[in-house]
Amino acid sequence: MTTQDTPLPGPRVNGEKVADLCRQLLEAVGEDPEREGLQGTPERVARWWTEFLDHDPGRMDTVFEEDLPAGTDRVVIVRGIVAWSLCEHHLMPMRLELTIGYRPCGSVLGLSKFARIVAAHAHRLQLQERIVDGVAADVAKVTGSADVGVVAEGTHLCMSMRGVRQDQARTLSHSLSGAFADGGILGGELLAAAGAGRR
């Protein structure tokens, strides 16, 4: 087993300032921050922003060495990883379900690390496409594999709650490299495993 520390740069939230801004926002939308029901809301909002943006996903790069017999062709696919993030355009939530696949080359990534890698990219102001690309790059870096595919299906509240208000719309994005790219069989298998287009 090999482990390394992977520093995760991230924002450090000024909770006091966030709480003050939340009070101002409540006043700007015609509310009284001191009324019953809103008392303590600015502080709760500030704690949420701190929890979300200062999230520490923990160790993300634990791999287990594995000697595969000659001629072995193995692919690992992990699906059903759910993450919430915030759209940087409207500061509204998006829910993503990710499927990740890679071809091991001498080592395998600990299964919990997939979720940690996803969390490291989701806990910030984001775009779905950037999350997918970032997860793919990190899986490739940690596993040393050039064959990596990531598929994400997202529901965006900025589309469900505002504008056209399409609450059934889904956004599908993917990043495919190596054997998963160029319309190959592995890319098709990954998309099928992700259930792309099933709804």
What gap in Å lies between CA 97 and CA 192, rounded to an integer? 14
Return d(Cα 65, Cα 105) in angstroms, integer. 9
Q: Which two tokens stand for residue 63?
A: 């791999």
Which pTM was predicted? 0.87
- Residue 140 CA, chain-centre distance (Å), reads 16
Domains and CATH numbers, the chain: 15-53 (1.10.286.10), 63-193 (3.30.1130.10)
pLDDT for res 9: 57
Give the pLDDT confidence score for residue 184 in this predicted structure.
79
Model pLDDT for residues 168-191, shown as the tens digit of each residue = 678 999 999 999 997 778 999 999
Distance CA 101, CA 136 (A): 9
In this prediction, residues 140-154 reach a mean pLDDT of 95
Q: Reply yes or no on whether the pLDDT at 5 is more than 70.
A: no
pLDDT band at 72 (very low <50, low <70, confident <90, very high): low
